[in-house]
Amino acid sequence: MLDISVIVPAFNEDESIPELASWIEKVMRENNFSYEVLFIDDGSTDNTWEVIEQLHSKNNDIKGIKFQRNYGKSAALNTGFQAAKGEVVITMDADLQDSPDEIPELYKMIKSDGYDLVSGWKKKRYDPISKTIPSKFFNFVTSIMSGIRLHDFNCGLKAYNYKLVKSIEVYGEMHRYIPVIAKRSGFKKITEKVVIHRERKYGVSKFGLERFIFGFLDLMSITFVSRFKKKPMHFFGSLGSIFSFFAIVSFLKLSWNIIYSKWFMNEKIQRELTDQPLFFVTLTLLIIGTQLFLAGFVGEMVSLNNPNRNDYLIEKEL
């Protein structure tokens, strides 16, 4: 088994990849690591794949996988995780904003210190305030909701042990929450390391502000799925029980009003049961509660593990 696998998702990064590959190769040789670099071409429209082919022809430790079209960073990382052969797997972005000089220390923290996952923390960032402020808020909320004390969940520079990457599945836009997915899968030795964040040298950022909006939706999704994937009745049944409880309370209130008026006060009932607003509130609560119970039963019977969720069409592979 190799010492290190470096996974680099790339989308239209033909200018930066040669410099990045050379830098990684230099670090690996200086530290006598056996390694592989997996460039995942996420459907680039420039010369990214041609550059990867040229690098592979000169160095067999550099490998590549090309997607038929753009699937996103999560798909690229998941495919890289499946192909990785290193005891320690390190991910970094292709834009040269992550420094390969961090690799030896990240490797040590996994191999010697025994961490399952080490996440980079870009303490000093070279991004506009329109990205840094929402990012800080996003990381704060994610930390509170997940219980994982990290400052930078979305940093592309991370290190993992081999067992972790072979045990998790990253899909949709869940790459932001790999630490959360890892924790839910039983890998709890998670920490962070302050890393250098460099100014972008080539090209432009591929991410806009919409990622923060989608990020919170993804967080709610991963929280729900990780907690209730195996037992959806725990979620739907609990909500159904709450609505059913209030339906019963409402029904008892209606019944008591009728009994009290007719049998204790000897009063003539002014309005029929079906003319009272509380009757319709009771009926609505009962219907909602029943539907939630049924959703829970259906969820218990339907498998949420779609075997084709990460069935990506790979056009070429080196």
| pLDDT, tens digit, 9 for 90 and up, residues 146-183 | 788 898 888 999 999 999 999 998 877 788 889 988 99
H-type helices in 147-231, by residue range? 162-165, 178-184, 210-228
- pLDDT, tens digit, for every residue of 69-104? 999 899 999 999 999 999 999 999 999 989 999 999
Q: Provide the CATH topology of domain 2-228.
A: Spore Coat Polysaccharide Biosynthesis Protein SpsA; Chain A (3.90.550)
Residue 233: its pLDDT value, please?
A: 74
Residue 310: its pLDDT value, please?
A: 57
Given a contact cutoff of 8 angstroms between Cβ atoms, the answer to whether 125 and 197 are in contact is yes
Q: What angle do CA 86, 90, 93 make, to 5 degrees?
A: 140
Strands across the sheet containing 35-41 = 190-194, 117-121, 158-161, 86-91, 2-10, 35-41, 62-67, 314-317
Given a contact cutoff of 8 angstroms between Cβ atoms, the answer to whether 198 and 127 are in contact is no
Enter the DSSP assignment of 167. Answer: T
Residue 259: its pLDDT value, please?
A: 72
**Domain limits, the chain:** 2-228, 232-301
- pLDDT, tens digit, for every residue of 203-255? 666 555 555 566 666 666 666 666 666 677 777 778 888 888 888 888 888 87
The model's pTM? 0.72
* 265: Cα separation from own chain's centroid: 62
Q: Is the pLDDT of residue 295 over 60?
A: yes
